[in-house]
Amino acid sequence: MDFQMSGAATALREELRGLVRDHLPEDFLGAFTSDPADLETAQGFCRLLADRGLLCMSWPEEFGGRGSSPWEQTVVREEMWAHHEPRGAQYMGVNWVGPTLMRHGTPAQQRTHLPPIARGEVIWCQGFSEPEAGSDLASLRTTATPDGDGWRINGQKIWTSYATMAQWCFLLARTTRVGDGGVARKQQGLTIFLVPMDDPAITVRPIGCMMGPHHLNEVFFDDLRVTADDVLGDVDDGWSIVQAVLAFERVGIARYARCERLLHLAPDALGERWDDLSVELRGRWVRALTLCRRARLLAYRVVALQAGGTVTPTDAAAYRIAVTTLDQVSAEVLVEIAAEIGADAPPASALFLREVNDHWRYSQAATVSSGSIEMQRILLARSMVAPR
């Protein structure tokens, strides 16, 4: 299958690769390390992209974008993820926070939040999962209680990526209990709030893990005071927004691009030792490259559906299953290939080893984060059962 895009998209890809080559350290492995310089490198790169109109290409011009096609934005996603996401956590604001605000935000919310995202100046985190509400998100216990002309929020979130560096949180809380006010299902009575992370009523506690700092955190809300202006969309109708958010989020990261890049780097990293690999291992390497193509095809299908306004969570689930499986299959193959690198390996091998190690560590959480693969399979299976 030919995945070649238009001439403009090809030129854009070359421009992005040139910017990565000229403005990022050769050993850059992402913003989320213990070295603060890596985050600053990513923030600087975001501003560079924004200045060139490359950060939010597909956004409408009125919101700071260029009105480009979703395929050009897909090129940006692919090149960024292939090179260890030098936008840092900005992909969250670009891929789904911004588009969600365009659809559901008030004019005041759009004026407040969209320009900083488009300039690459603000980081968002997502306040969804809780200790007893992960895959079953609608069972969350964080509550927002009416308080004068606003609300008081109390509760806890967990596994919140980037909470230590974020300025804003896209927070889901329960505003009406099941059984009250006509709320019959747990998916009802939920509301989205846009809250500043520097409020003293918010406490963030990092959770150590092998993925490194910033990826996992606990966030506590103790009598957080918000106003009606902080509500996104309608009160008690947050679940419909969440469904759209998850569809955008799950396809917004082009994880297959990094897998494919690392697999293609493997022969050069091994040099003459490549020919000594077992037939079985090289066969698995080829199969992993095939799975990259499958994931790319499913991603492009969802991009096409998004462009037509018909994407559903089920469409995103099929892609999510393919790409998270690819993450882990490719990581295992790459680790075994990397184990064959000897002392006589080419100079590029040292960086390749670090990249493979980073990819393997991240891949371990791939089938859990942003919705477990089991839940994606259930969602997909339900869509395939004919109604009686």
Residue 387: the pLDDT is 54
Which one from 85, 130, 249, 260 is the annotated catalytic residue? 249
Angle 150-156-158 (CA atoms, 0-180°, nearest 5)?
A: 130
Q: Quick one: average pLDDT of 107-128?
A: 96
| Reported CATH class of domain 7-122 | mainly alpha
Model confidence pLDDT, tens digit, residues 313-341: 777 788 888 889 999 999 999 999 999 99
Integer Cα distance of 223 and 68 in angstroms: 43
**pLDDT tier, 154 (very low <50, low <70, confident <90, very high otherwise):** very high
pLDDT exceeds cutoff 90 at 304: no
Question: CB within 8 A of 362, min separation 6: which ones?
Answer: 211, 327
Name the residue among 324, 160, 171 with its Cα closest to residue 251: 324
Q: Quick one: average pLDDT of 248-272?
A: 86
Integer Cα distance of 142 and 380 in angstroms: 28
pLDDT exceeds cutoff 90 at 217: yes
Residue 61 token pair: 């011009």
Integer Cα distance of 29 and 314 in angstroms: 32
Name the 3-class secondary structure at 317: helix
Pick the range with the lowest mean pLDDT from 18-22, 118-122, 236-240, 363-367.
363-367
> What's the CATH fold of domain 253-385?
Butyryl-CoA Dehydrogenase, subunit A; domain 3 (1.20.140)
Pick the range with the lowest mean pLDDT from 92-101, 180-189, 231-240, 369-378.
369-378
| Reported CATH class of domain 125-237 | mainly beta
| Residue ranges, CATH 2.40.110.10, the chain | 125-237
143 forms bridges with which residues in the sheet? 154, 174
pLDDT exceeds cutoff 60 at 1: no
Residue 255 token pair: 């994880």
How much is the mean pLDDT over the chain?
90
Name the residue among 192, 194, 186, 196 with its Cα closest to residue 244: 192
Q: Quick one: average pLDDT of 4-12?
A: 81
Handedness of CA 67, 72, 77, 80 (dihedral sign): negative
Residue 248: the pLDDT is 63
Name the residue among 272, 296, 274 with its Cα closest to residue 285: 274
DSSP string covering 201-269, please? TEEEEE---TT-TTS-EEEEEEEEEEEGGGEESSTTBHHHHHHHHHHHHHHHS-HHHHHHHHHHHHHHH
Residue 173 token pair: 């809380």
Number of H helices, E strands in the chain: 12, 8
To the query of whether residue 260 is one of the catalytic residues in this protein, the response is: no
| Residue ranges, CATH 1.20.140.10, the chain | 253-385
Residue 239: the pLDDT is 94
151 forms bridges with which residues in the sheet? 146, 226
Question: CB within 8 A of 338, min separation 6: which ones?
Answer: 269, 352, 353, 356, 357
Query: pTM for this structure?
Result: 0.88
Name the 3-class secondary structure at 80: helix
* The residue to which tokens 């506590």 are assigned: 220
